[in-house]
Amino acid sequence: MTTLLQNDQFRLAARPVGLPKPSDWNAVNEPVRAIADGEIVVKTLYLSLDPAMRGWMNEGKSYIRPVAIGEVMRAGGVGVVVASKSPKFAVGDHVSGGIGVQTYWVGAADDKTANFYRIDPRVAPLTTWLNTLGMPGMTAYFGLLDVGQPKAGETVVVSGAAGAVGQTVGQVARHLGCRVVGIAGGKDKCDFVVNELGFDACIDYKNGDVREGLKQHCPNGVDVYFDNVGGDILDTVLTRINMKARIVICGAISQYNNTTPVKGPANYLSLLVNRARMEGIVVFDYAPRYKDGVAALAKWMQEGSFKSREDVVKGFDNFPDALLMLFEGKNFGKLVLQVAEA
Amino acid sequence: MTTLLQNDQFRLAARPVGLPKPSDWNAVNEPVRAIADGEIVVKTLYLSLDPAMRGWMNEGKSYIRPVAIGEVMRAGGVGVVVASKSPKFAVGDHVSGGIGVQTYWVGAADDKTANFYRIDPRVAPLTTWLNTLGMPGMTAYFGLLDVGQPKAGETVVVSGAAGAVGQTVGQVARHLGCRVVGIAGGKDKCDFVVNELGFDACIDYKNGDVREGLKQHCPNGVDVYFDNVGGDILDTVLTRINMKARIVICGAISQYNNTTPVKGPANYLSLLVNRARMEGIVVFDYAPRYKDGVAALAKWMQEGSFKSREDVVKGFDNFPDALLMLFEGKNFGKLVLQVAEA
């Protein structure tokens, strides 16, 4: 390797109030240092842009420590090993892990934070390893199965249906024999999840009434609701749940950039009336079982009965703007930033 | 029997807005009719006054149909059989069931709505059959065990700690080897649950900061929260829950008389961060197991390790005012209206 490699980075400059602004980032550049025994250099190919990243920018206790001011922004990604002094990875290996928003990652091959693992581009395209076969897919697969516990014939509703997690939730539920109803923003996304992903129906919250849509498309009520959005949509679904319904709290994208307090679900007493349950999930808890999830989803994909849709934005420098697409619902499928040609 | 018996009743005159007003009731009087084969007359001795009654006065779907305008107000109670043409009950039998807010109940001995069952005053005083050995006790016992699932050494917090459900929740948790912290209004109630019921601590929400109280008295966080009140207290407890905590949604007395929308728990995303669960319960689901609950609680009571406290208000005519005591937190223990001398 050469030490002439330049590592471009976005570091957190300030904690955002509301939507992240350009001034919340510091674009910096440092040379890639020489590596010691046990270390590797990973060249970033694709970065995963996720709603959860907004939460990591806040101070305060959460399921993971906040990104510090001045620190490289945390992000998952896939890359290729371009230098290695570790037996764990060889030059040319494709890996997935916590690369961060930078063009190169340098450190110990067994670093616990980055937690790199080898991925196989012959099984699925690299971007799919950030979507269906990555964190969003694992979130969807284990959150739905373990917490949602859907049974064949039940009705499963998922918000953010065309998004990274939602598309997998709906397709897994379809494979289980459930009636699957998505909620998404815009006709294109709704058409996609019905026509391409095989959902039974999709409610366009931007151009229709969610309550009426649920009445129409969930004639037998809602048994499982997988919530990625929170806010008014969660509140509306709460009015349509069945006895013993399960609500999986996976995220609340509608609330992440609030400058006012989070809107709690005013209809939460529907849980009492219906003896229902609302339960939160964090994907990291399922790490020991990821390989099972990947195997199941890859099998369906190889059989042609499961699709993975990514929305790829090109150019490392576009990171700040690309991230905002998530909160404006502009991405169509899992949002990925292409940093370099594979 | 004589047909000269007069049945005094409170019938629902109007659906209340906020706290029930005197004009929401119609006090009427009708003669007790002669009974046919299979029927009985029950003389009301004690009526159970419960927060849930406020919900039954509202229109709209719930876990039980609303009381109709003009109908005798629904209420549980204990009474004595004063006339019987049924082999199921003999004159002199004490029974518990859905008597309604009236001085006599007349109908079929096997009426499914009233659902009378014989109670034994030698096991416990009649009022205790409306408390620990009645619906509140069953709510507490099964809600805590089945949904809260506390384990020895865990911390259980219960709001409305001196109330009907709360007192049993805390004492059952104590018997299970948990650390038990109550939340109640006023020093007297707090002293009572600590000194008489054996709670480890009690937070006086009327004279102190609940957040500080939880910090002080739950040094290891909250594993189970049994919520009878909703509102700000629920929101505050959500900030102190542990990983995999269980929140039992039993009621929300702070919200029942709202004229504005219910306040949803703004901190519900703590469920996500902590992979925690919020689940509603309705006592009727446990009817097939009531006898097990009664046996367990009666055994502890007879051993002297479990107390049942009722707050008895005398006089049928005081029903409207007595009901309001619940929402002002004026009752101290399970609120019971004495209608006649036992």
Taking only the tens place, the pLDDT of each residue in A171-203 is 999 999 999 999 999 999 999 999 999 999 999
A255 interaction partners in chain B (CB closer than 8 Å):
269
Distance from CA of A316 to the nearest CA of B (A): 30
> Which DSSP symbol is given to B20?
P
**What local confidence, expressed as pLDDT, does residue A1 receive?**
47
* pLDDT value, residue B3: 52
Which residues of chain A does B63 touch, with a Cβ-Cβ cutoff of 8 Å? 272-274
Residue A3 confidence (pLDDT) above 60: no
Distance from CA of B183 to the nearest CA of A (A): 20
pLDDT at B326: 92
Task: Please say whether the beta carbons of B46 and B133 come within 8 A.
Answer: no
All domains in chain A, ordered by first residue: 6-131+309-338 (3.90.180.10), 135-284 (3.40.50.720)
Q: Using CB atoms, which residue from A249, A270, A274 is nearest to B272?
A: A249
- Residue B283 Cα, gap to closest chain A Cα (Å): 10
Please state the φ and ψ torsions of residue A251, each to the nearest 5 degrees. -175, 180
Q: How many CB atoms lie within 10 A of CB B120?
A: 12
Provide the strand spans (E) within A160-289. 179-184, 201-204, 222-227, 241-249, 277-280
Tens-place pLDDT, residues B141-161: 999 999 999 999 999 999 999
A252 neighbourhood in chain B, CB within 8 Å: 269, 272
Q: What is the pLDDT of residues A226-252, one digit of tens each?
A: 999 999 999 999 999 999 999 999 988
Predicted pLDDT of residue B255: 81
Integer Cα distance of A131 and B46 in angstroms = 62
Say how many CA atoms lie within 13 Å of B135 toward its Cβ: 25
- Over range B19-34, report the average pLDDT: 95
B269-307 residue pLDDT tens: 999 999 999 999 999 899 999 999 999 999 999 999 999
Predicted-complex ipTM score: 0.88
Which conformational region is residue A21 in: left (phi greater than 0), alpha (psi within -120 to 50 degrees), or beta? beta
Which strands make up the sheet holding A201-204, listed edge to edge? A201-204, A179-184, A155-159, A222-227, A241-249, A277-280, B277-280, B241-249, B222-227, B155-159, B179-184, B201-204
Tokens of A58: 């806040």
Q: Across all residues in chain B, what is the average pLDDT?
A: 95
pLDDT of residue B257: 76
Task: Please tell me the predicted confidence (pLDDT) of residue A329.
Answer: 85
Question: In this complex, do B249 and A262 lie within 8 Å of one another by their Cβ atoms?
Answer: no
Helix axes A231-238, A210-217, angle to 10 degrees: 40
What's the rounded Cα separation, in Å, for the pair A336 and A116?
Answer: 18
Q: What percent of chain B has pLDDT over 90?
A: 89
Tell whether B272 lies on the interface with A, counting CB pairs under 8 A. yes
Per-residue model confidence as pLDDT tens digits over A259-309: 777 889 999 999 999 999 999 999 989 999 999 999 999 999 999 999 999
pLDDT bracket for residue B259 (50, 70, 90): confident
Average of per-residue pLDDT across A146-166: 97
Alpha-carbon dihedral of residues A326, A331, A332, A333, nearest 10 degrees?
-50
Cα separation, B85 vs A295, whole angstroms: 69
Using CA atoms, how far apart are residues A218 and A176, in angstroms rounded to an integer? Answer: 17
Q: What is the DSSP secondary structure assignment for residue A58, as one 8-state letter?
A: S
d(CA B53, CA B60): 14
pLDDT tens, position by position, A34-92: 999 999 999 999 999 998 899 999 998 778 899 999 999 999 999 999 999 999 999 99
Report the C-alpha gap between B229 and B255 in whole angstroms: 8
Q: Is the pLDDT of residue A256 over 80?
A: no
With beta carbons less than 8 A apart as the criterion, state whether B257 and B18 touch: yes
Q: What pLDDT, on a 0 to 100 scale, did the predictor assign at position B1?
A: 47
Question: Averaged over B327-335, what is the pLDDT?
Answer: 90
CA B77 to chain centre: 12
Strands B155-159 and B222-227: parallel
pLDDT score at A121? 95
Please choose, from the candidates A49, A42, A129, the residue with its C-alpha nearest in 3D space to the C-alpha of residue A88. Answer: A42
Count of A-B CB contacts under 8 Å: 107
DSSP B173: H
In this structure, the strands spanning B117-118 and B94-97 are antiparallel
- A282/B273 CB distance under 8 A: yes
Percent of chain A whose pLDDT exceeds 90: 89
Residue of B nearest to A248 (CA): B272
Mean pLDDT of all residues in B300-325:
96
The mean pLDDT of chain A is 95
Q: Do A280 and B272 touch (CB under 8 A)?
A: yes
Give the A window 169-188 contacts with B, CB below 8 Å: none
Alpha-carbon distance values, B295 to B123, B134, B170, B291, B333 (Å): 10, 12, 18, 6, 21
3-state helix/strand/coil string of A245-274: EEEEECCCHHHCCCCCCCCCCCCCCHHHHC
Burial class (CB in 10 A: 0-12, 13-18, 19+), B85: middle
Contact between B151 and B168 (Cβ < 8 Å): no
> Rounded to the nearest 5°, which phi and psi values hold at A122?
-80, -25
Q: Please tell me the predicted confidence (pLDDT) of residue B61.
A: 74
Cα angle, residue A273 at apex, residues A267 and A277 outer, rounded to 5°: 75
State the pLDDT at residue A148: 98
**Are B277 and B246 in contact, with CB atoms under 8 Å apart?**
yes
* Beta strands B241-249 and B222-227, pairing class: parallel
Per-residue confidence band for B188, with pLDDT thresholds at 50, 70 and 90: very high
Taking 90 as the threshold, does the pLDDT of residue B84 lie above it?
yes
Q: Chain B contact for A271, CB < 8 A?
A: yes
B251 touches chain A (CB under 8 A): yes
